Amino acid sequence: MGRVYHYRAQFSKALELYQQALDRLERQGHLKGLAMAYASIAGSFLHLAGYPQVIEYAHKILEVSGKTGFQRGEAIAHEFLSEAYGFIGHWDEALRHAQMNYEIASKIGATARLVWAEYTMGDAYWLKGELQRALEHLEKSYERAEMLGETRAQTWIQLFTANTYADLGEWQKGESSALERTLASLWDTSEFGKAPGKRPQRYW
């Protein structure tokens, strides 16, 4: 239920439900479950601009994931740290954690995780002003998302890609394709789509 409210952008309500799940998992001592609950909480705080809380819960993910060798959890934690540090202007830290996220995702061979790892790398390089490197990662991220049918990621990636081209002064290059692919992704997941919408995959 927490994820339902999350996808409806009702993040405060999602946090209430995540906390209830967290309380149960703490009583059970389920470490992998705890890592994912922490990730859900961190994700909601990220959307609410609660960056200190994101950093706090990301470190909790690292702690419990390290105890069980849960590498996907570690990758997720570094993704949150990259995003949070990026938002508060610590761009070197943002890039460092993005690279750690990418390295772990590559090591475990998780394509769905690599979609978001590549996206985070693109974001981090954009923050550093390395726009061509940002585009390289964004394009790879989009290719993987398209292969998986991960339309939510495709929408985010294409909007960011168009923005990066604009920052490069290449207003027309990629503009039409970015718009077309973004609208296609939005249409595919909307209630107005002619075909059944693709369910967005959990990126955590």
DSSP output for 129-171 = T-HHHHHHHHHHHHHHHHHHT-HHHHHHHHHHHHHHHHHTT-S
Determine the Cα–Cα distance for residues 192 and 136; give it in Å rounded to an integer: 33
- Structure tokens given for 99: 């690279």
CATH number at residue 130: 1.25.40
**pLDDT, position 181:** 58
Q: Contact at 8 Å (CB) between 22 and 6?
A: no
Last residue of a domain, one of 51, 83, 108: 108
Q: Are residues 134 and 100 in the same domain?
A: no
Report the domain count for the chain. 2
107 class by beta-carbon count within 10 Å (0-12 exposed, 13-18 middle, 19+ buried): exposed
Residues 136, 57: one domain?
A: no
Domain boundary residue among 91, 108, 125?
108
CATH of residue 87: 1.25.40.10
pTM of the predicted protein model:
0.83
57-84 pLDDT, tens digit per residue, is: 999 999 999 999 999 999 999 999 999 9
Reported as a single tens digit per residue, the pLDDT across 16-44 is 899 898 889 888 888 999 999 999 999 99
Residues 74 and 126 reside in one and the same domain: no
Tens-place pLDDT, residues 165-188: 888 888 776 565 555 555 555 555
Q: 56 and 91: one domain?
A: yes
Q: What burial letters (b/e) apply to 160-184, b meaning 16+ CB within 10 Å?
A: bbbebbeeeeeeeebeeebeebbee
